[in-house]
Structure 1
Amino acid sequence: MTQQQLGTLLTWSEQLHPTRVVISGEWTLIHYRLLEPAVTQLAARLDVQTTFDFSQLKALDTSGAALLVKLLGEQRVAVLEQIAPHLAPERRVLLATVAHSLRGFTPPPSEKPPGLLLELLATVGRSIEGFWHNLLALLAFIGLTLQTLLSVLPRPARWRVTSLVANLQQIGLNAVPIIMLLTFLVGAVIAFLGSTVLSVFGATIFTVHLVVFSFLREFAVLLCAILMAGRTASAFTAEIGLMKANEELDAIQTLGLNPVELLVLPRVLALLLALPMLTFIGIISGIFGGMVVCALTLDISPTMFLSIMQSSDAFQHFLVGMSKAPIFAFLIAIIGCLEGFKVSGSAESVGIHTTASVVHSIFVVILLDAVAALFFMEMGW
């Protein structure tokens, strides 16, 4: 091919001697990706006798000037007044400046993309680092909350009783129906499944022990804690996060008030009071659900059910289950408030940290419950 054309920007003819290159159109950033391969290919084929025509050049910026410098070479740019006398002076200055800036410049070597194994290890490392930072932040926030609590307790005038009661109603009283329904249904399901399995061995009477043991020790407190993690921790994060996004926290600090004392303590104390009470209600509802199933399917009357329950050392199991409720409540409230303070100021950030508060709370609750189960089993309690 003796004549080639790249759109309306670059035309060259090898039929003529010497070769003639016509620069036309707009040599700007928008056309850089189109021009760069052609300029690289053509620059290697030009000789010293090649002529250039800039009469049709319309627009030129620094990216286009860099391509022209690459096409012309430093020697031609140095004598640009001779080879392109009709080129505007400001464009000659631009080409000379770009040529001077590119002198001695070498593009950085392209990095080889990491392999799959390296990417996997990097992802694991980032996850572990993020977990460590979150753990440190949680411990620091727990210390700050306890310090604020100890400074407020001896001063009744600084107690936020109204906020505490309002949060207690929202957290505890409004959650009673869903807790009762959830634990009743789970208790009924456990009793039904237990009776189905135990009937194979002719031991359906032990369904009562299964329901009582599971709800007094594990299911009631665990279900209530998970429900509070999804219902209450997310509400704490959203409320505090929106306050931070609307710069209300800055206003609180400007007024000389402590955000931890004003926002965190009432929520933590309210959940500390509410979760044990909700756990107690969940225990009663779950056992009642199991009692209903036993009465309908196993012909175990409520009187017999309560008699078997009384003889199964239920009080010790009750203490074990209730002892975990305040710990779960404290950590759920702390995580929910902490994620609220982490919000950066956008609606997307509020959603991300609300989700994180629910996930982290449920993870901590299940982890601690597993550790507590192992501990109590080893202690024989």
Structure 2
Amino acid sequence: MTLEKLHALFLEHPIICTDTRKIEENCMFFALKGPNFNGNAFAKDALQKGASYAIVDEEEHRASDRTILVNDVLETLQQLSTFHRNHNKAKIISLTGSNGKTTTKELINAVISKKYRTIATQGNLNNHIGVPLTLLSIKEDIEMAIVEMGANHKREIAHLCQIAQPDFGYITNFGKAHLEGFGGVEGVIQGKSELYDYLTSHGKYVFMNADDPIQQDKLATYSKKMGFSAIDRTYYNIEFVEANPYVVLEVEGIRIKSQLIGKYNFTNCCAAILMGKYFNVPLEDIKAAIESYQPKNNRSQIMDKNGHKIILDAYNANPTSMRAALENFHAMDAPDKTVIIGDMFELGPTAAEEHQGIADLTEQLNFEQVYLVGENFFGVDTPFQKFKSFADFKEFLTHQPLKKGTLLIKGSRGMALERILENL
């Protein structure tokens, strides 16, 4: 079947499913493969549960005329998404970076949707499967699609750019994330910069943080760009006011008070404001969008529970974001500060050094109480209490409840430190 014919079928059945536990009536089931599963084996089940068509790449699973055989299901899904992206009029804004991608994506969507019909990546569906699914969710009336791109190896962003073919792009930052896959910080810079490489080589428009020397260097000679700066007034000036605890900024004489904690969220707000300015969203609408946005899904959430004021930032962590969170917590005007931090994953050979560095920083910042959780932190040299596993820490809390006060909880997704809330 040609791509054109497959796309015509998709327009008649515009729901994509890749999991037979989530089959929707009249969807198209794509039989993807993974290290521990083979979707081909579930094609018949998908049809029985209500799927209109099943796309497979193994002849023996071609069960009926509603089963479409292709060479490679994943490649077909990606090619179909690119075809659909070009079938529609929506402009694509792509973003990547080491930290803040999802928050920035949500802020951009909040701002741009004040004037345009938009869609944005759901959750963090930002990989070689998630990006195609986002593109395939673009309806005919959508004007802007904000597409988040994640990667833990070089060439991944380049591949996602070939699929999404973005018209605009922005990189949040270059930090110590996925060092194991990228092979170090230089690898991170090269890998994330693949978005700018694609945009500049195709004459597309670039948004930038002009206060980031790496971005300045990468885009020094490129003309189709717009940047924000808190320092250089030759760029769009956005002034940082405070983050105690919420980020407050000023632009064109108008003060914007966000519901985001931490100075590290200042540039995330700036990116959304910059794009709003470029796309002619009225400044009062930009202000309303930023001020009404509330973080969720364990990302910089503030809550009160049983006498504790909690900063829950347990969605993910790497050395860059961990350092920023700790320094921000130190600068906050808050009583009785307690820190609970969990292991940072995917650091490869640098894991021991990076965890020791965070432990040393935490000691310098003089918090009232500090607890380190996870195998990596268990191996550091520190005066703080260490726990090899979450279970060990949970057991400790049953005998020694935490002192009432202000609590920072941060760790990598695999640590799932939000479980602590059940034990407060």
Q: TM-score, normalised by structure 2?
A: 0.19
Report which of the two has the higher share of strand.
2
User: Which one has more relative contact order, counting CA pairs under 8 Å at least 6 apart?
Assistant: 1
